[in-house]
Amino acid sequence: MTEGRQKDIQMIKRVGRNVFSNVPRISVIIPAYNVAEHISATLESVIAQKFREYEIILINDGSPDSKRFEREINSYLEEIVYIKQSNAGASEARNTGIKHARGEIIAFLDGDDQWLPDFLASQYVFMGRHELDMVYCDAYLFGDNSPYIRTFMQTAPSHGEVTPASLLDLKCNVITSGTMVRREALMAAGLFDTADGLAHDFLLWLRIAKNGGKIGYQEKVLAKYRVHLNSLSGDSVNRMERSIFAFERAISTIDLTIDEKAIAERRIDDFRTDLKVESGKSLLLSGRNREAAEAFRQANRRRRSLKLTAVAYMARFAPGLLLKVFKAMRSNEITFVRNIERSA
């Protein structure tokens, strides 16, 4: 079992009249926090699935938008299992869903993401055909006023066999809203880590792989992952902090081999450099030019490159011009959480 926070979580559970009466093959787990404006589209994407032997378990994790949220889901209540609990974080919410799930397979979907109609059917068939314990797919990146420009795997590709080493080396990148996992594999791996911090889904996939679980990537776009284009710099800083936490916790809590630990330590060093770069961007956007220049200088000391040298120089002597360049490029940036999104 994973170590974590001990919380007295208050919970109310309501089972809709139309919820699949027999034991379903798949339980769909949807944790929700501040997603009232998106939850209807998320639920509709599940209801539109061609595969029908599923149950939907929706967990309201003590969301501050609960009044609006419950108005939005009112017409769906008879079709779902609705659990409302005191706020405990995304990992605890997912664990709550798993503990109440009846299906032998668990599919995860965040409350503001969506599935394409073939998601469940295609992933279920692929999982069975290849005798997998876990499968994940690709997803379109989308957001407010944003067309389908890229997919998740175009920004964080997956190549080769999924192993602890390939996960740690970011050669295989899992998007949580594109995953299906056998319940017994989840239980054997200890469910989601609920310790204070972030990156709990990445750590769970790593523990499943370390347990010998067979993980596969189906190279199909079967989901839609929402990104928020109006907060790129902050998201990027948080993404680096999440990555550092994930890999440090992997080293401290998982029995990695010498080679796996070396990969994790190398990646932590890379993330620390990236954090300096992203912090520099954030500082530049907020007008703190001197601090931005220092952040870029420190990044360049860690990872020497002509590009970083030029950026550090411009931040010091021409911050206005650098800001214009960054803002021009910013509209084409799409942030993502590499394996560990939205876990808190």
Specify whether 254 is located in the same domain as 219.
no
Specify whether 295 is located in the same domain as 180.
no
Which neighbouring-strand residues pair with 11?
85
- State how many domains the chain has: 2
Q: What is the pLDDT of residue 111?
A: 94
Q: Is residue 103 part of a domain?
A: yes
Q: Tally helices (H) and strands (E) across the chain.
A: 13, 9
In the listed set 172, 204, 227, which residue is the last one of a domain according to the structure? Answer: 227
* β-strands 81-85, 54-61 pairing: parallel
Query: Low-confidence residues of the chain, pLDDT below 70?
Result: 1-8, 144-149, 196-198, 228-235, 327-344
Q: Is residue 340 part of a domain?
A: no
In the listed set 189, 209, 227, which residue is the last one of a domain according to the structure? Answer: 227
Specify whether 57 is located in the same domain as 148.
yes
Q: What is the pLDDT of residue 8?
A: 67
Specify whether 144 is located in the same domain as 179.
yes
Specify whether 168 is located in the same domain as 242.
no
> Could you write out the three-class secondary structure of 100-146?
HCCCCEEEECCCCCEECCCHHHHHHHHHHHCCCCEEEEEEEEEECCE
Q: What is the pLDDT of residue 53?
A: 95
Q: Is residue 209 part of a domain?
A: yes
Beta-strand (E) ranges in the chain? 11-15, 26-32, 54-61, 81-85, 105-108, 114-115, 134-142, 179-182, 215-226
Task: Supply the CATH number for residue 198's domain.
Answer: 3.90.550.10
| Residue numbers of the domain that contains 26 | 11-227
Closest CA to 225 of 154, 284, 130: 154
Specify whether 256 is located in the same domain as 175.
no
Specify whether 241 is located in the same domain as 299.
yes
In the listed set 182, 212, 227, which residue is the last one of a domain according to the structure? Answer: 227
Specify whether 137 is located in the same domain as 176.
yes
Which neighbouring-strand residues pair with 59?
31, 83
Q: What angle do CA 94, 162, 105 make, to 5 degrees?
A: 35
Residue with tokens 């792989």: 209
Closest CA to 90 of 35, 44, 24: 35
Specify whether 192 is located in the same domain as 256.
no
Q: Is residue 236 part of a domain?
A: yes
User: CB–CB of 96/9 below 8 Å?
Assistant: yes
Specify whether 173 is located in the same domain as 269.
no
Q: Is residue 238 part of a domain?
A: yes
User: CB–CB of 247/264 below 8 Å?
Assistant: yes
Residue with tokens 């175009």: 154
Q: What is the pLDDT of residue 163?
A: 97
| Alpha helix positions (H), 169-211 | 183-189, 200-210
Specify whether 262 is located in the same domain as 114.
no
pLDDT digits (tens, 9 = 90+) for 286-296: 788 888 888 88
Q: Is residue 322 part of a domain?
A: yes
Q: Is residue 1 part of a domain?
A: no
Q: What is the pLDDT of residue 336?
A: 31
Q: What is the pLDDT of residue 147?
A: 52
- Cα dihedral across residues 272, 165, 181, 138: positive or negative: positive
Q: Is residue 263 part of a domain?
A: yes
DSSP3 helix / strand / coil % (the chain, rounded to 5): 50, 15, 35
Specify whether 288 is located in the same domain as 273.
yes
Rounded to two decimals, the pTM is 0.84
User: CB–CB of 237/279 below 8 Å?
Assistant: yes
Query: What values do phi and psi take at 298, rounded to 5?
Result: -65, -40
* 215: three-class secondary structure by DSSP: strand
